[in-house]
Amino acid sequence: MPSRAATLMLRGMKATLIVSAMALLGSALLPAAETAAPPPNIVVLLLDNVGQEWFRCYGSEENCTPNIDRLAAAGVRFSHCYTTTVCGPSRVEILTGRYPLRTGWYLHHDAALYSGGGFDPHREVTFARLLRDAGYATGMAGKWQVNNLYAEPDAITRHGFNEYLVWPGSIDRDKADAGFQKAFEEAIANNDHVFLSEATRKI
C-alpha cells in the first residue's frame, strides 16, 4: 500500500504528463493552422445559348477553348447540372440550385419581373449569399434580368453580391449595333463612379 505522500506525488506526475501532452498536441496543431491553405477562388461563367459541347474540356472536337479548359483543369468540373433552355430561369436555377418550378421562374418574361417582384431574396438563398456569409468577397458582371432593378435597386446586393456591374435586361444585337458606348450607358453598378471610371481607363 503506497503512502499518502507517494500517492500525491503520482497524481502530480500524471497531471504534469497530461498537461505536457496537451501542450505538445497544441504546439503540433499550431503550424497546421498557420499554414492552412486559403479558400479557393470561385469563378462562375454563365452564357446564354451555350451548351457543354462547345468546350474542349467537355469533349468538343470543333472549338478550341484554352482559357476555359485551364480553369476547368485547375478547378471542379460539373457534369450533371441541367437547366432550362431559357435564359432567365436558367440563371435563377444556377444561382439557387433549385428547379424553376420551385422558384416560380419557368418563363422568360416572368410577370413578377416587370411588376417589381421577381427573384425574391427573402424567399430564395443564392450561392453568392452563402459565400459572402462565409467571408468571400463576391461580385457579378454581365446580364442580370431576374429583378426589376429600377424598382428594386438593392436586389443584387440582397442576393449576396458585394459589387456588381450589370445590364438590367438583355444584351441583344441592337445594343451591339448601337456601339459599345451606348450599351455601356445602360449598365447599372453599385459604385459606378469608381467602377466605370476604372473600366474606362482600362479600355
Exposure string over 37-58, b if 16+ CB within 10 A, otherwise e: eeeeeeeeeeeeeeeeeebeee
**How many C-beta atoms lie closer than 10 Å to residue 119's C-beta?**
28
The pTM of this model reads 0.66
Rounded Cα distance between 148 and 112, Å, is 9
**How many C-beta atoms lie closer than 10 Å to residue 168's C-beta?**
19
| DSSP per-residue string spanning 57-83 | GGT-SS---HHHHHHHHHS---S----
Exposure string over 84-111, b if 16+ CB within 10 A, otherwise e: bebbbbbbbbebbeeebeebbbbeeebe
- The predicted pLDDT at position 25 comes to 37
Q: Are strands 188-189 and 163-167 parallel, antiparallel or unpaired?
A: antiparallel
pLDDT tens for the 203 residues of the chain, in order: 555 444 434 344 333 333 333 333 344 445 555 678 888 899 888 887 787 888 999 899 999 999 999 998 988 888 787 777 778 888 888 899 888 888 877 776 555 555 444 678 888 899 999 999 999 999 998 888 787 777 777 888 999 999 988 877 666 555 556 555 555 566 777 755 444 444 444 44
- The predicted pLDDT at position 138 comes to 95
Q: Say which amino acid occupies 8.
A: L
Rounded Cα distance between 120 and 148, Å, is 11
- The predicted pLDDT at position 22 comes to 36
3-state secondary structure (DSSP) of residue 174:
helix
